[in-house]
Amino acid sequence: MSMAHIHHSREGESLSVAAKASMEKSGEQWTEMRAAVFEALASFDKPASAYDIADKVSKDQGRRVAANSVYRILDLLVGANLARKVESANAYVANDHPDCLHDCIFLICDNCGQATHLDDDSLSGGVRDAAKKAGFAPERPVIEVRGRCGDCA
């Protein structure tokens, strides 16, 4: 059953401050490079690949940043609930409400590439329950729906 609550969505500097606080609360350091990767990710209006992010950070810093380094940081950000991974696109989006932990459902537009995420614990809970009944220990359900967004439909 889904519990209704209010998300405290953030953007810009407020989102970066919330991300830093969340990372430090989990016992990790908020390094300059982690901040640069997070801020670059948050600047995209569509899911971004590690290469997109590495290019942006490289341009912002005036030096080459390797995608391998970005991947490691993105894995850390996903683990800290600061970013979400769109599995089918191998791309990432910043989580604009890092203080809330939900399974994420992505609605991905095949026309414009926009990815909207929904938090619906009742749907993902059903997926978790089905997995448990099959003797599987689910850790992170991934639900992605491909189609066309309202603007492109």
| pLDDT tens-digit map of 10-65 | 445 677 888 888 888 888 899 999 999 999 999 998 999 999 999 999 999 999 99
Global pTM reads 0.81
User: Same domain for 83 and 122?
Assistant: no
Asked if residue 55 belongs to a domain, the reply is yes
Q: Does residue 59 belong to any structural domain of this protein?
A: yes
Predicted pLDDT at 133: 95
Interacting residues of 70 by C-beta distance below 8 A, sequence separation 6+ = 37, 50, 51, 53, 54, 57
Is the domain of 76 the same as that of 109? no
**E strands in the chain:** 83-86, 91-94, 104-109, 115-119, 143-147
- Please tell me whether residues 86 and 68 are part of one structural domain: yes
Secondary structure tally for the chain: helices H, strands E: 5, 5
Domain membership flag for residue 3: no
Q: Which residue has the higher pLDDT, 119 or 153?
A: 153
Same domain as 90, residue 45 = yes
What are the E-state strand segments in 28-103?
83-86, 91-94
Domain shared by 121 and 143, yes or no? yes
Count how many domains the chain has.
2
CATH code at position 48: 1.10.10.10
Structural contact between residues 97 and 10, judged by C-beta atoms closer than 8 angstroms? yes
Residue 97: per-residue pLDDT? 67
Parent domain of 68? 12-94
In a domain, 99, yes or no: no
111 domain-assigned: yes
Which pair of structure tokens corresponds to residue 56? Answer: 């942006």
Residue 74 lies in a domain: yes
Distance between CA atoms of residues 105 and 128, nearest Å = 13
Shared domain check, 82 and 26: yes
pLDDT of the residue at 2: 41
- pLDDT value at position 83? 92
Residues 60-109: tens digit of each pLDDT? 999 999 999 999 999 999 988 899 999 988 999 998 766 666 777 889 99
Single out the residue in 69, 94, 119 at which a domain terminates. Answer: 94
118-152: pLDDT as tens digits: 877 788 888 889 999 999 998 878 889 999 999 99
| Residue 94 phi, psi dihedral angles, 5° rounding | -75, 140
Q: Are residues 57 and 90 in the same domain?
A: yes
Residue 2 domain flag: no
User: What pLDDT score was predicted for residue 9?
Assistant: 43
Domain with 117 in it: what CATH number?
3.30.1490.190
Q: Indicate the pLDDT class of residue 6, thresholds 50, 70 and 90.
A: very low
The residue to which tokens 């220990």 are assigned: 137
Contact 127, 143 (CB under 8 A): yes
